[in-house]
Structure 1
Amino acid sequence: MTTVLVTGGSGFVGGRLIARLIAVGHTVRALVRSDAAAQRVQGLGAIPVRADLADPEGLRAAAAGAELVFHAAARTDGGSRQQFWADNVTGTANMIRAAREAGVARFVHVGTEAALMNGQPLVNVNETVPLRPDSRASYSASKAAAEQLVREANGTGMETVVLRPRFVWGAGDTTLLPRLVGMVDAGRFSWLGDGRHLTDTTHVDNVVEGLLLAAERGRPGQAYFVTDGSPVVFREFVTQLLATQGVAAPNRSLPYGIARIVAATGETLWRTLPLTAAPPLDYMSVWVSGRECTIDITKARTELGYEPIKTRQQGLAELRSPAG
């Protein structure tokens, strides 16, 4: 079977991807930076390889002999705009270059719908909507710029494909759900507006399904959205997520306009002053929590043969179970 390199393998998506790749017989290497990450990927059946996205030589060594790379590593929150750019843009550029020099045949990049965001609602968007490397949000801007690099790198011996999931969730999540629970416990949770806008979501198993299909069938140089198949009311879904952990969602609301002003003020101060902690409210949090984001996945269905393999109800049931 194929030798595969996975970056971000100790993370939520990367870990689930490794388990699926191992299950179907691939040899998997995983980029790691710590002993804890090495132990995690080794426990999943992958071979840990010590390297950093800022280390071109280490990346070339990690990619040597691999036929396929899944690039799932990314900074998702925390840090300055420069740190987002270093990790998500320069790091991606280094990985692309290393993969090409190592003779990798196909490079699959984990993108995001956030690469289209700059404060506007995303309503039934598809892959024709422009990327926003000019976004006010550091995550959005850096992921848009990274995707541009990946798609421009297609050709000259290596094919590249991008998969864009939206609102990744499921059992094993170490970021989204724990953060929501922590905000409720700390009394810092509020709905922006009334929270009744529509949103799309993507269970982690559906993300992995999309990644494998992108690797096998994706047209070189193309991007594909994947979701759970249909949108849901944001407030209803988050309430259900919290309930799986025995946490009741508060009724408290903050007007969207006020939240936007608070985020803009905080982002400006944090860029101007030498502050290390994250602002209390940032652009991405406001946009994700307060703006509609619905996605047309016709392209993935048509070209990849993608269909969700796990329903929301199945995913919520897993989260409610002790094993979840």
Structure 2
Amino acid sequence: MRRSFRDIHGILLLDKPLGLSSNQALQTARRLVGAAKGGHTGSLDPLATGLLPLCFGEATKLAGWLLGSRKAYEAEVRLGATTTTADLEGEVVETRPVPALDTAAIEAALAPLRGRIVQVPPAYSAIKQDGVPLYVKARRGETVDVPSREVEVYRLDVLERTTDTIRLHVECGSGTYVRSLAVDLGANLGCGAHLTALRRLWVEPFMAPAMITLDQLRAAAEAGPDPLDACLLPVAAGLAHVPRVDLDPEGTRVLGFGQPVPLGEGATPGRCGVWGADGRLMALGDVDGAGVLRVLRGLNLPSV
């Protein structure tokens, strides 16, 4: 169905289906919504399903801010084999027998993977080196030297296990690769492992997301603009986890020129959402220790 693009602003909590890349899912949703501008907040591999927040219009200015948010996943790990890609899409590199594992042995293997850890991302990843994604170099057969990085793993708990699989609940910060956690878990257990399934459950601030599938979005698009727009959250939903600052008319005027606004010593330092005197969301801002508000990303939303 051919659809004209329009200026629409909002956030779609898409339940990404299996097999699509994040960009394919974004472009499909953008065409259905008819949004002139769109972006996603952190990619999911084609193997992964679950929450992919999509930003349309002015909400795209918050996409980079949401990229660094805390995330939660449910992951299935297969023990006894390593693969080239660290998941089931790659070729098997090595197989080993899976030892008899009790709860204590698994916990001992998981413990070093929690907290602030150093992780080596998979060679088949979207991280760029000399402007080229690592997975492109790996597919060319080039030797890929993957730099390690510090990441944060807040929770890593066993949900269920069988003889050769472990299902995990993972909560982590930005830049964490669950595929690498699977590889490291297999190494700690001495039998190797790879990721066989991954579902993203939530991304801060969308902790209990009412996700929309592409089929639901198609049905809404066929029903008309009102059901379609009802699938979107307002741009302000992307700032639900930071303090709100409401400006008076003078502060609204000053901020409208991109200038700092003194809020006074009682202002809470840190990032915030900034609303003008007319009730319009104006910016993602930051308040310094002296109580001065500065714009990080200005938003050009229609008046309410």
Instruction: Assess same fold via TM > 0.5.
Output: no
The structure with the largest alpha-carbon Rg is 2
Q: Given the two structures, how large is their TM-score scaled by the length of structure 2?
A: 0.25
RCO higher in structure (CA 8 A, sep ≥6)? 2
User: More helix by proportion, 1 or 2?
Assistant: 1
